[in-house]
Structures are given as C-alpha cells and as structure tokens.
Amino acid sequence: MIYNNIQIITGNANPALARGICEYLQRPLSDGVCEKFPDTETNIKLNSDVRGSDVFIVQPTCAPVNEHLMELLLFCDTLRRSSAGRITTVVPYFGYARKDRKDEGRVPISAKLVANLMTKAGADRVVTIDLHAQQIQGFFDIPVDHLYGSKVQFSYYRQLNLPDLVVVSPDVGGMKMARAYSSALHALLAVVDKRRLSPDSAEVGFLIGDVEDKNVLLVDDLIATAGTLVEAAKLLKDKGALDIYVAATHPILCGPAIDRLTDAPIKQITVTDTVPLSQQAKEMGKIKVLSVVPLLGEAIRRIHKDESVSSLFIDTGEYQAV
C-alpha cells in the first residue's frame, strides 16, 4: 500500500541523525514538542497534520534509555490517535536488547517487553541496525527491517587496506559478525574466549587463532563499558599483535569506557552515528564516526515506495564519514 507523504519525527535521542536523514530525503523535519512537564513527565505535541501520512520516528533508545523509550512510545500513541497512515519506529540502536532471554531465575526478558510496548503503542513497522541478537526480530509480530552497520565499515577498512589483517571477535557470540568482516576484507579470523564477571567487567581466557605479527580488527556490535574490547586488546597485544583497530556499530560508551579506551593498546576505533558521541569521546581523538544516514535514508525511501529493502543488505563498498 502506498501512503501519503513521508513525515520524519524525532525526540531527543539523536536529532542530528534525524536531520541528516531529512537532508538525504530532502524533506523537512516535522515540527513538534518533546519536552518535560515540571514534574518530569514527558510532554509530546505534534504541530503538523499527520492524517494518512507515512510517518517515521527516528529515535534510538540510548541513554537515558527510559526517557528516550518513553518519548518513542508517546510519539507512537500520539500518531495513532492523530490518524497517521503508517507508523514506523526507526530505532538504530535498540536498548534493552542484551536482556533477551531468562539466563537465570527471576529476571525479565526486557527486550521482549520493549517490543510489546512499541507494538502496543501503535508501531506498524520497525527499522533497526545491528540488534544485539538477530532473533529479537522475532519478538515483534510486525515487519522488522534489520540493517547492518558493517556495510559502512567494510568500505572504510578496504580503503585503509591494512596488511596482514586478522579479524577478531571478542567473544563467541560475535563470531557471525566477525566472519562477515573477515570474508568482506579477505582477512583471517580469530576469537577470544570471554566470560562476563559483572555488568561492567569481563575476563578473557584464551585466544583461538593466531595474531602474532599481524594487524588486528576487533569487531563488536557495541561498546558499553569497553571491558570486553579492552581486555581482548590486551590479550591480543600479549599474543604479539601489531596495530589493533576496533570497529563497533553503537558507541554507547558508559561508565569507565572512555578512561579504559584511552589507556588501551588500540590505535583507532570506528563507530557509527546510530547514537550521538559525547564531547569527552570526541576529545579522546581515537574515535572516527562513519555515518549510517545514507543507509537509513535509503531504507526509509524504499519502505515508503514499497520497494525492496533487502538489497540494501548487499555490500556495495561505499561509506560516508562525518
């Protein structure tokens, strides 16, 4: 079904990304209010008519996660009650994704709850990038377009053309992503055996593979406290690695992350703009941001035109730095 005009709406999570998408689509950002009542409740108001429109809400659920999630849900509710034609939540970073199963007794499956909330609030469709676990798509009973941040990273590392490269996954869970990088970059593959000790610390055991006298690209879906990547980088240095690069999609960078990364034996970190980078992270000087604006902009254009989105998953070797 073809809906009326595209409208792009954003909350406070990543307005720069939303503006970039608007530029790509040559559409204005729809006007609205997304602020706080004096008692800290979220106040939403749309200032344009959305009746029959194909509306895309660009809102990663990054920190403060609950604030941004609530903004997203309230936008969905507002749009549903304002007779929008179709509501698509564009959630480039899907928070709560790491709690996707009952791995111990008496805990929630937070990712499933968030999926339920989004659908119940009125979302008809979801666009996202690098879910922590791909099977979270199945938590939704509405269409999910799952895009890959690696698409913008591949071409950057092709241009860098690092000799003797080994792609390393910092844990077994990341092997599928690491295999995609190693195949795209024609590099060898290795994996670190990681155990999580607490939410902000990880312990590495041994390395499967060889990195001696090789350059390394460590790949992950996200950097939170950076415990995983920094411990892996130290192990790789001990094993004789040359320069260590990191490619991660979502720069969450919370808690001790900046201090850890500053001191770590890592030469450069490439991330995407699914979530905004803090000033402190920018000042560290090790992080380069590659933009997912063309990826998301094109996905939105195709969804609106009822064209295939899956061809976007094919690697074309183009990237845009910001």
- Residues lying near ligand R5P in the complex (CB under 6 A) are found at 98, 170-171, 173-174, 202, 220-228
Q: 10 or 225, CB closer to ligand R5P?
A: 225
Based on CB atoms, which residue is closest to ligand R5P, 41 or 104? 104
- Distance, in Å, from the CA atom of 246 to the CA atom of 251, rounded to the nearest integer, reads 11
- Judged by CB, which is closer to ligand R5P: 22, or 244? 244
For 220, list phi and psi in degrees, rounded to 5: -155, 160
Catalytic residue set:
194
Torsion of CA 24, 185, 269, 236, to 10 degrees: 160
3-class SS at 322?
coil
Cα atoms found within 13 Å of the Cα of residue 178, Cβ hemisphere only: 23
Query: First CA to last CA across the chain, in angstroms?
Result: 35
Between CA 111 and CA 171, with CA 257 as vertex, the angle to 5 degrees is 60
CA angle 274, 279, 282 (to 5 degrees): 75
- To the nearest whole angstrom, how small is the minimum distance from the Cβ of residue 283 to ligand R5P? 20
Provide the 8-state DSSP code for 39.
T
In the complex with ligand R5P, the residue whose CB is nearer, 11 or 174, is 174
SS3 label, residue 290: strand
Nearer to ligand R5P by Cβ, of 30 and 225: the residue is: 225
* Residues 6+ positions from 151 with CB-CB distance below 8 Å: 295, 312, 313, 315, 316, 319
Gap between the Cα atoms of 230 and 15, Å rounded: 30
Q: Taking a C-beta distance cutoff of 8 angstroms, is the pair 174, 149 a contact?
A: no
Q: Which two tokens stand for residue 70?
A: 């609530």
Q: Which is nearer to ligand R5P, 9 or 192 (CB)?
A: 192
Minimum distance from CB of 133 to ligand R5P (Å)? 9
Q: How far is the CB of 259 from ligand R5P (least distance, A)?
A: 13
Smallest gap from residue 93 Cβ to ligand R5P (A): 12
Task: Write down the least CB distance from residue 10 to ligand R5P, Å.
Answer: 26
How near is the Cβ of 229 to ligand R5P at its closest, in Å? Answer: 6
